Structure 1
Amino acid sequence: MTGIQHPFRLRLAKSRRLVVKVGSGVLTGADQRLNRVRVASLVKGLSSLVESGIQTILVTSGAVATGAPVMGLAGRTKTIPQKQACAAIGQTLLMALYEECFSTRGHHSAQILLTQDDVRSRERYLNARNTFETLISAGVVPIVNENDSVAVSEIKFGDNDNLSAEVAALVGADLLLILSTTDGLYEKFEPGQQPIPLVEQITNSHFDYAKDHLSPTGISTGGMKSKLMSIKKANQYGIAAVLAGGQKDDIIQNVISGKNEGTLFLPCEDKLSAREYWILHTLSPKGTLSIDAGARRALTEHGRSLLPIGITGVEGNFRSGNSVRIAGPDGIEIARGLTYYSSQEVVTIKGCKTDEIESKLGYRYYDEVVHRDNLVLII
C-alpha cells in the first residue's frame, strides 16, 4: 500500500502499550480449522514488539474453531451449548499452542478470560487491571478471550472486537491494532480499490461502507460494523487504532514501523474520561428515558442535569444507580447516564417540578433524575 504518509503513522513506533486483536478468520484456514503456521507468524510479530520494549496484549478469537474438530463439529452449524463446549475444549488447546510458539522465542504468555461483569464491577475492574499490570511488568504476554464456555447474553461483550476496545481502555493502551481478513476499510470493493488510508473521525458514512459484502478474496466482511463501533470506542478514549490485513507477512512490524498498512483511525482530541467511558460504553443500559425538546436543549446546549419535569416517557425496569439511555423527542438516543431513581419512581414523578417530588413519592433523594456529572452526551 503506497501513498502520502500521515505524520501520526510515525508516532506509532513510539507506542508504549499495544493491544492486538486477531479474529478467527485470520487464524483458520479454508477448512475452518486452526492454522498453526498463521499462529506462529502472529507470535513472531508479537515477540518482535516485546523485544523492542512495547508492552503487548493479545485479544484472540479461535477457541470455538479449535475445539470444533474435537467435538466432531468442524464446519457444521452449532447450537449455543455446542459452541460453549467447543470453546471449553478449544481454549486449552489454543493457549497451549500460543505458549509453545512464545516459548520457542524465549517468551511466555498467560490466559485471561473475561466477561462484561469483570469490567462493570469497580472491584473486579481493578482486580483485572492489576493482573494485567503484574503480567506485563514480568514480561509476560497476556492473551485475552471472552469466557465463552460460561458467558450468557447478559454478561457477554458481544464479540472480541468490542472486547478488544474494552481491554485497550482498561490497560490504557496507546494503540489498538485489529487484524482482519480485509486490508482495511474500503469505500467499496472493486478491482484495484485501495483501503481508506486515514479516518480522522468515524461518521455515519463510514458505517455505510461497512454493510455486509464480499471482499476481493471472497471472504465475508459482515463484521466490519462491529469493528468500526469498537474502534470508535477506543478513539473516544484517546486511543489510536489501525485496521489491517492479518494474513499478511510481517503486518505487525510494518504497522508499528509507520508504513501505510491498513486504515489508521485517529484518536479523538476531546477524549472521554475513564468515568465517562465506563458510563457510555461499559455499563449496559437497563432502560430509556424519553425527554421533551426543552430538556434536550438543557442537556445538549447548556450542560444541565436531567430534571423530572423534562421526562415524557419511561421504558424498562431499572433501579437507582443503573445506566439508562436518554432519548430526545424524535426517539434518537442523545445521552447515557446513571439514574438516581428507579423506573417505578420516575414513572410517578415524570413531568413534575422538583418541589413536587416529595409530595408524589413521600420522600426526595435528589432534585435531578440524572445529574450532569453522571451523564455523557452521545451527539
Structure 2
Amino acid sequence: MSYKHTIVVKIGTSNLTQPETRKLVLSTINSLVKTLTKLRQLGHNVVLVSSGAVGVGCSRLKVKETPKKISLKQAIAAVGQGRLMHVYDELFTSIDQPIAQILLTRRELMERSCYINARNTFNALFKLGVIPIVNENDTVAIEELKFGDNDTLSASVASLINADWLFILTDVDYLYSADPRLFPDAQPISNVDSVQLAKLQVQANSTGSQWGTGGMLTKLTAAKLATKAGITTVITNGKYPENLIKILDGEDIGTKFGAYLENDNARKRWISYGLLPTGKLYLNEESIIAISQKGKSLLVADVIRVEGNFKSFEAVRLCNEGGEEVARGIVNYSKHEIDKINKNRLDNISQLPTCDGYETIVHKNNLVISKKNIRL
C-alpha cells in the first residue's frame, strides 16, 4: 500500500447507534477513529461522511421515532450533530488527529464557483493533515436541494475531490442477491465490474434502518455514481472498520465495484453529479448518434420536445423518444426561449439576448453522456 490514495468513508446510522436506544456505539466509533487516523498516518487523504445526527438527536431529546415533518427533523438533526461531533472530536483528539466539520447541501455543489471552492477547501485540509467529517446540512437544506441520504452525499463528495476509493460501511458483510434477513438463500456478491453493475438486478430493500434513510438501493446508486467517476467502491460491514486497511492491501472483504477506466474531467463530473437537472430535452435518433458517437454539440433543430421550467445555464436531462436518459448538459437557453425558436427559422435566435445568436442549445463541452451503450 505504498501508493497514496484519497479515500472517502461513509458510515451509516445502523453502525453508529444502537437500534433500540439510538445511543452511540462507542466501541465501533473508537475503532473507526483509530483506523482513519492510521490511514492518515500512512499518508492517505481521508474524508469521513457520517450519518447519525437525527438518531442521536432523537436519543438526546427522548423522541421515540424519526419525525416526518421536515422542520422538526432539521431541528433534531441540529441537536444530534453537535453531540456527534463532540464525540468525534474527543476520540480523534485523544490520539492527536485534527478534524474539521463540513456541512453541505446540493446548493454548494450546483454553483460552479462554490463547487471549486469546496474542492479547494478539502485540498487545503488534506495539506494540513486534517480529516474532514462531512454531513448534509439538514438544518438549512430545502427538500428540493437535499441529497436525501448520505450514500448519495458520499458519492458526490468522492467525485468532488477525485477520490480513488469510496467505502460504504453498512450493517451487512456484502451486497447480496436479495435481503438475507428475508431470503435465507440469498447469495453474497464479491466483485462487480462496471458492465455487471450497469446490468445488476438484485432484490434490494429500498428503505434503511429505523433511524437511517438509506437502504441497499441507495448504496447501489452511490456505487454507480462513484464508479462512473473512476472511483473504486466497496460495500462492507461497518462493525469492523479495521478491515479498510486489509481491503486496501488487497484482501477480498465485502463487495468491490470496479471503477470505469474512462472517467470524465472535473467539469463534466460536476455536471454529472453536482447539478440537479430541472428539465428534459427529447431527441431523435440522429441527434443521439451525433452527440454520443460523434462528439457533436446539441443544436436547436435536434430537440423534438421539451419538458420542465428551466432557465438558461441550468442542467437538463437529454432523453431518447421513450424518455430514457442518454446524457446531461447545461442549456444555453431557457424553456421560454426554446419555445420561441421556430426550428425552420433559426434566424429567430439572433433576437434572443442570451447567447449571441448561437444555434447550439448544449455545447459539447457542457454535455456528458450518461450511457455508453444507448438504446435508440
2:13 corresponds to which residue?
24
Deviation of 1:350 after TM superposition, in Å, equals 5.5
2:310 corresponds to which residue?
318
**Partner SS state of residue 256, structure 2:** strand
Count of residue pairs brought into register by the alignment? 366
Alignment of 1:286-365 (within 5 A): 286-349=278-341, 351-352=343-344, 354-355=346-347, 357-358=349-350, 365=357
1:195 corresponds to which residue?
188
Amino acid paired to 1:184 = Y
1:374 corresponds to which residue?
366
Distance in 1 separating the partners of 2:213 and 2:176: 11
**Partner SS state of residue 218, structure 2:** helix
1:186 corresponds to which residue?
176
Alignment of 1:205-354 (within 5 A): 205-206=199-200, 208-212=201-205, 223-248=215-240, 250-349=242-341, 351-352=343-344, 354=346
Distance in 1 separating the partners of 2:216 and 2:103: 24
Amino acid paired to 1:256 = L
Deviation of 1:175 after TM superposition, in Å, equals 0.8
**Partner SS state of residue 27, structure 2:** helix
Asked if 2 retains the 8 angstrom alpha-carbon contact of 1:182 and 1:221, the reply is no
Deviates more, 1:218-227 or 1:118-127: 218-227
- Name the CA shift for 1:58/1:232 in 2 (closer, same or farther; >3 Å): same
Tell me which of 128, 140, 145 is aligned to 2:130.
140
Deviation of 1:303 after TM superposition, in Å, equals 2.3
Q: Is the counterpart of residue 123 in structure 1 residue 113 in structure 2? A: yes
1:157 corresponds to which residue?
147
Deviation of 1:91 after TM superposition, in Å, equals 0.6
- Name the CA shift for 1:237/1:205 in 2 (closer, same or farther; >3 Å): closer
TM-score (normalizing by structure 1): 0.88
- Name the CA shift for 1:205/1:221 in 2 (closer, same or farther; >3 Å): farther
**Partner SS state of residue 302, structure 1:** coil
**Partner SS state of residue 369, structure 1:** strand
Distance in 2 separating the partners of 1:362 and 1:181: 51
Deviation of 1:96 after TM superposition, in Å, equals 0.6
Deviation of 1:69 after TM superposition, in Å, equals 1.9
Amino acid paired to 2:260 = C
- Name the CA shift for 1:103/1:192 in 2 (closer, same or farther; >3 Å): farther
What are the ranges of 5 or more consecutive residues in structure 2 without an aligned counterpart? 372-376
Q: Deviations over 1:336-367 (max 9, x none)?
A: 11111110111122533534544799996202
Q: Deviations over 1:70-125 (max 9, x none)?
A: 22214354422221111101111100100111112221211111111212222222
2:374 corresponds to which residue?
none
Amino acid paired to 1:174 = D
Tell me which of 74, 80, 88 is aligned to 1:98.
88
**Partner SS state of residue 132, structure 1:** helix
1:3 corresponds to which residue?
none
Asked if 2 retains the 8 angstrom alpha-carbon contact of 1:13 and 1:258, the reply is no
Tell me which of 95, 100, 110 is aligned to 1:110.
100
Distance in 2 separating the partners of 1:173 and 1:360: 41
Asked if 2 retains the 8 angstrom alpha-carbon contact of 1:313 and 1:350, the reply is no
Deviation of 1:194 after TM superposition, in Å, equals 5.1
Alpha-carbon RMSD across the aligned residues, in angstroms, is 2.7
Asked if 1 retains the 8 angstrom alpha-carbon contact of 2:12 and 2:212, the reply is no
Asked if 2 retains the 8 angstrom alpha-carbon contact of 1:285 and 1:325, the reply is yes
Q: Is the counterpart of residue 166 in structure 1 residue 156 in structure 2? A: yes
Distance in 2 separating the partners of 1:170 and 1:266: 19
**Partner SS state of residue 145, structure 1:** strand
Distance in 1 separating the partners of 2:41 and 2:355: 61
Asked if 2 retains the 8 angstrom alpha-carbon contact of 1:307 and 1:354, the reply is no
* Amino-acid identity (%): 39
**Partner SS state of residue 316, structure 2:** strand
**Partner SS state of residue 260, structure 1:** coil
What are the ranges of 5 or more consecutive residues in structure 1 without an aligned counterpart? 1-11
Amino acid paired to 2:191 = L
Deviates more, 1:131-140 or 1:318-327: 131-140
Deviation of 1:129 after TM superposition, in Å, equals 2.1
- Name the CA shift for 1:363/1:339 in 2 (closer, same or farther; >3 Å): closer
